[in-house]
Structure 1
Amino acid sequence: MGLRGKLGLIFLLVSALAILVLCVAVYTQAQSARLDRTRSFADERVQLAAQSYDQSGVPVFGAELDDPDLPPQLRAAVMEGKRATFKTGSPNAKMWAAVTVKDGKTLSIVQDYQTTDDSMRALQQALILGGLGTVGLVALVSVILAGGLSKRIVAVAGTARRIAAGDLDASATEAVGKSKDEVASLAAALDTMASSLRGQLEAERRFTADVAHDLRTPVTGLTTAAELLPPGRPSELVRDRAKVLRRLVEDLLEIARFDSGVEQADLELVGLGAFVGSAVGRLRMQQSLAPDSVVVQINGKDETVSTDSRRIERILANLIVNGLRHGRPPIEVSVTGRVVEVVDHGNGYPEELIAEGPRRFRSGMAERGVGHGLGLTIAAGHAKVLGAELTFGTAPNGGALARLVLPALETSV
């Protein structure tokens, strides 16, 4: 049961209990008032009967002298010189009234006392109908009020999901409207958190871009200088480290472009299966890979997609190189329709990466090797620009599984 249902149920139960207590109190008070009226009527009759008897010696109103059925409690009260009334219990309840007359005898009258009559039945029916109608009205109002509150809370939750998805400009305050209750306070706190997070991310983006741009010139000079060193093992080590540093700077610049949001896809129609095969072939030549280190399999009919082939090739290269570096060959690349899967035979992706996606400068578990954690981040950035879905998981037979799902080709009507 959702919040709306729970709040509505709580309001309904509380209101129903309050109305029930009120109806019982009203009915009880009405019964008490009716009993008082009956006592007063019986007392007046016995007084008139006593006056008549004292004057004429003749009982009226059906009064009896020394009635043997007189209740003992009433008899004891009259013997003390009191004029009293007494109601016997159900069934066949009766109202008695008695008083001592001039010759010392006890004069009493009795009348039937019905616990319910037409007026009480009418009151009972009115209370039941009124109570049910009030409960129904309260239920309707409570559902409306709970629905409004639930709707605003759902709006805050939706804004939180948008922020988690990267839309840091989403405003929870605008979603819940103008108010000064707890929901508005929650929305304001969420907006404050998003603003702080937006500032931190912006600072991180500026830092990444500034560092990459500032390092690009000296790294280029270092690489050029390393090429001028005389042949030898030390020179090879310097050139190798210089190349690694240059690739790192290029990766940082690429991530900075993703963060700035300026990257756009150059779409073209591509036969996905054939293109993946040729891209893997070019990667084998560039990386000097053995033919059996990367295996390509096309399942079913080759599907044509509208995409940016350069970015597809960049994603494939990063996924395959990551598998070769941190997993074990052969790397299996399969194409099924619009889906491309890359599987290695290593220890698989860490659970954190599978759950949260790749994060820069975090390479995962130690058993998957070392690195800067930028390759998968860049692949995810290119997939986002393409409008594709890139997910990471575990292959059925073990090992790391990366699945790229490209958007369907739009057809005009």
Structure 2
Amino acid sequence: MRRLRPPAWMATLTWKAGVFITVMCCALAALLGALVHVSVTRQTVDTAREKALDRLEEVTRAYEAGEPLPRYAGVDPDGIPSGLRALAVRGERGTVVADDPEGRPTIWAAGPADGRALAVRVDYSLSASTISGLDKAILGSSVLAIGATLLVGSFAVTRVTRRLHLTAQVARRISAGDLDARVNDPRTRDPAHPEDEVATVSGALDTMASTLQGKLLSEQRFTADVAHELRTPLTGLSAAAELLPAGRPAELVRDRVKAMRALTEDLLEISRLDTRTETVDLDVHELGPLAERVVRASGTATEVRIVRDARVETDRRRLERVLGNLVANAHKHGRPPVALTVDGPAVTVRDHGPGYPEYLLEHGPQRFRTESGSKGHGLGLTIAAGQASVIGAELLFRNAPEGGAEARLTLPAAPPG
């Protein structure tokens, strides 16, 4: 049996605080209302009973003196509660609140009179209406107090949750790569100003972001400086390698120099992507022919499938770089057959190898990290993901259910016209 899940808004701090405030206010109002009701009712009833007993005393003296009884008194009158009559017959005095024969609230007082009950009745309707009005006033004031407390409490809680939401938004922006994002809570600017818990969290997040930004910028500068410094000696080394006499040693040297130059260029490209200084040259292109040209330039045995061609608005050079890296990665780390499929504005590169490693599926490509035993530096997919972000495309990595790795690039469609 499927369990019903509560709506998401019920998990919010505002909702929980509202429920807590409401429950506490209702409990407090019920407790205070009950105390006031009991206290006032007891005082009112005691006053009415004293009055009834005083009248019973006067009527008893009149009865013993043989004087006529007033209209509010009588011996075994109609409507006297049976319990009170039995008490008087036993020779005791007592009072009870009950309705008279006409249905009006009445307080009865009775005492013994020659084996019968001598009783008086006092109108209790005014006191009863006073208590009823008091109960209504308590209920109304409790509702108003709960409403006012909810409004004030909701305002206070909303201010806190708004600051928490802002802190969460900044944290998400930082995790998405916006290292300039800061909360800048005004409570953290003045050291003499007392900070609450939310301001402490906001300040810690800003400090962490600043420290992280400094370390990343330092690493980016180091990578760019190393790549730039390597270009000059590698250029000279490449020229010197061309002067070596033909033979296997010369081929090995040229191959290693070529690989080092490619690695240096990749590092320079990554450093440019990290600094977010890249500009795009957007134009409208037919995606199918562009993908076929990329596969031909790669010189690999890649099958091209055009399910549905589309016109996309993109930077052709950067798109070719992304597709070229995806195709090269599929052949380098996967197994044939490798297929590139164009289906509208989406391009899928699929191989039949062991699939992407778990860390890549969870966190995306990471430079200088590959599966153990594989050759490479993890830069190809890192550059592909960076260039895809620059041209506004979405690049997703997943493992196909039938086996193999699958990279899907979704491009923005060209505007009509």
TM class by shorter-chain length?
0.7 to 0.9
CA deviations over 1:228-250 (Å, ceiling 9, x no partner): 23333333323222222221111
Q: Alignment RMSD, CA only?
A: 3.7
Alignment-derived partner of residue 81 in structure 1: none
Alignment-derived partner of residue 334 in structure 1: 341
Residue correspondences, number: 389
Superposed counterparts of 1:127-146, under 5 Å: 127-146=138-157
Alignment TM-score, normalising by the size of structure 1: 0.81
CA deviations over 1:97-149 (Å, ceiling 9, x no partner): 889xxxxxxx9875469697222222222223333343344344444444443
For the structure 1 residues 42 and 312, does the alpha-carbon distance in structure 2 shift closer, same or farther, using more than 3 Å as the test? same
- Identity among equivalent positions (%) equals 41
Alignment-derived partner of residue 384 in structure 1: 389
Q: CA deviation at 1:52?
A: 8.1
Alignment-derived partner of residue 295 in structure 1: 303
Secondary structure, counterpart of 1:197 in structure 2: helix
Q: CA deviation at 1:202?
A: 0.9
Alignment-derived partner of residue 411 in structure 2: 406
Superposed counterparts of 1:4-403, under 5 Å: 4-42=14-52, 44-45=54-55, 71=87, 86-87=94-95, 96=109, 111=121, 117-173=128-184, 180-284=195-299, 289=300, 293-301=301-309, 303-363=310-370, 365-366=371-372, 369-403=374-408
Q: In 1, distance between residues paired with 2:280 and 2:73?
A: 110
Q: In 1, distance between residues paired with 2:186 and 2:385?
A: 30
For the structure 1 residues 41 and 311, does the alpha-carbon distance in structure 2 shift closer, same or farther, using more than 3 Å as the test? same
Q: Report the more deviating stretch, 122-131 or 347-356.
A: 122-131
Q: Do the aligned partners of 1:49 and 1:59 also contact (CA within 8 Å) in 2?
A: no
Q: CA deviation at 1:264?
A: 1.1
Q: Do the aligned partners of 1:299 and 1:337 also contact (CA within 8 Å) in 2?
A: yes
Q: In 1, distance between residues paired with 2:57 and 2:313?
A: 108
Q: Do the aligned partners of 1:270 and 1:309 also contact (CA within 8 Å) in 2?
A: yes
Q: In 2, distance between residues paired with 1:151 and 1:75?
A: 74
Q: In 2, distance between residues paired with 1:134 and 1:322?
A: 68
Q: Do the aligned partners of 1:155 and 1:175 also contact (CA within 8 Å) in 2?
A: no
Q: In 2, distance between residues paired with 1:90 and 1:212?
A: 101
Amino acid at match of 1:296: V
Q: In 1, distance between residues paired with 2:352 and 2:391?
A: 28
Q: In 1, distance between residues paired with 2:86 and 2:394?
A: 96
Q: Do the aligned partners of 1:156 and 1:175 also contact (CA within 8 Å) in 2?
A: no
Q: CA deviation at 1:336?
A: 1.5
Q: Do the aligned partners of 1:5 and 1:143 also contact (CA within 8 Å) in 2?
A: no
Q: In 2, distance between residues paired with 1:113 and 1:170?
A: 76
Q: Do the aligned partners of 1:299 and 1:334 also contact (CA within 8 Å) in 2?
A: yes
Q: In 2, distance between residues paired with 1:53 and 1:334?
A: 115
For the structure 1 residues 180 and 213, does the alpha-carbon distance in structure 2 shift closer, same or farther, using more than 3 Å as the test? same
Q: In 2, distance between residues paired with 1:118 and 1:307?
A: 82
Secondary structure, counterpart of 2:354 in structure 1: coil
For the structure 1 residues 63 and 333, does the alpha-carbon distance in structure 2 shift closer, same or farther, using more than 3 Å as the test? closer
Amino acid at match of 2:131: M
Secondary structure, counterpart of 1:117 in structure 2: helix
